[in-house]
Amino acid sequence: MSDKFFKVPVEKLLDKIVIGEHNGIQFNESQWGMVEGLEENRFWTHISARRTGKSLAAGILAFAKLLEPGKQVMVVAPNFTLSSIIWDYVTDIIRNLQLEVDRFNQKDKVVKLINGSTFRLLSANNRDSLVGRAAHLVIVDEAAIIPDDEYFTRDLRPALSTYPDSRALFISTPRGKTNYLYNYYLRGQDPEFEDWGSAVFTWRSNPLLSVKDIDEARRSSSKKLFAQEYECDWTTTELQVYSLDESRHLQDLTYVKENLSKYEIIAGLDVGYRDANAFVVIATDGEYYYVIDEYISGEVTTSELAAKIKELEEYWGIDMIYIDSAAQQLKADFAYDYDIFCENAVKSVNDGINYLASLVDHDKLIFDRNTGFQTFTALANFKWNPKTENPKTIHDDNSHASDATRYGIYSHVKKSINIYA
């Protein structure tokens, strides 16, 4: 009997696996690191960059364990949407290899093979479903997104006590040092925790990623986001979206205001309805963007909002106003009743955020210390939501001016490119 955790040789199994158009799989450095980590450690924390195939590898390893008779394999993720990625990989492999199953429950996400092994999908959001289940292998996908480790210490850790050779695999990209997963990573580096191991694999572990693609991602992302997602940097994301610095990005913009003929004047409008409205005025020479005025209001009537925007439009000579594309009725009312014409903003949220973050990183987005201070404060306190797989911001009082600024700048850039393309 083999002493290895995986009794079925993974290397030979890879040659037989069919997924999509791929007939046979070759693991990269990160994926082999996952295999070795589970062979040598009972608890393995696998920190890997985006697009390094960690979910695919986890699915194949789950399948390898299922081929052993009578094994229990569970995948846990923050929610069913995220955990379904590995579910799809495993069930596709079973289907493509035409393995006979004893039970296949798509609704409850349970598969039982005729050899008695069971594959089960669970959500960390449904804590009751985690209790009372024994497992030979537990895979926690996108582990850093789960807010705390109570799901493991209270619910899953006992499940690993039934079988002496059980394993737990935590896979994720980093989400800052305040997350429990960072502590698990540190355990894996500490000789006192003999059962724990951990490793970090950046984008370089996947030879299929071209340097050209990575350079493009580096240019289109903020420094923080790129460092987190591709370099697996624990220290980069303390949830702040924009790395604003008061000494660099908050200035006296009198010199811009006194030379408006050198700039295009644009504005972004985020309509709050029940929340605050935000109207941000921006001067640009095509390379630098200067927030020269702002109007952040609470609950006001449409006529009051229109009167203020009309006043600012005439005072600054605004060339174009970009409005939230969801506010079509207000856009029509402005045009018909108040002679204020707006253009729909480009709603590619994360692309727009990345573009603004790049401007901030290169000191090309500047705020007037008197008439742009509220907008500066909003962007400086704009935060990522740590509970989502893909980067998504928290909706709060800082969102409105942040969105209005993004509407103005990113929409103007994209529409200008389209005109001249």
DSSP code for 294: E
- H-run or E-run covering 237: none
What residues contact residue 212 under an 8 Å CB cut-off, 6+ apart? none
- Residue 388: what are its φ and ψ, rounded to 5°? -115, 150
- Residue 36: what are its φ and ψ, rounded to 5°? -65, -35
Paired with 266 in beta bridges are: 282, 320
* Contact of 346 with 414, CB cutoff 8 Å: yes
Catalytic (active site) residue 238: no
- For residue 289, which of 206, 348, 188, 363 has the smallest C-alpha distance? 363
Selecting among 68, 142, 294, 389, the annotated active-site residue is: 142
Determine the 3-state secondary structure of 280 from DSSP.
strand
In terms of Cβ atoms closer than 10 Å to its own Cβ (0-12, 13-18, 19+), residue 55 is buried
* Contact of 328 with 377, CB cutoff 8 Å: no
Positions marked active-site: 142
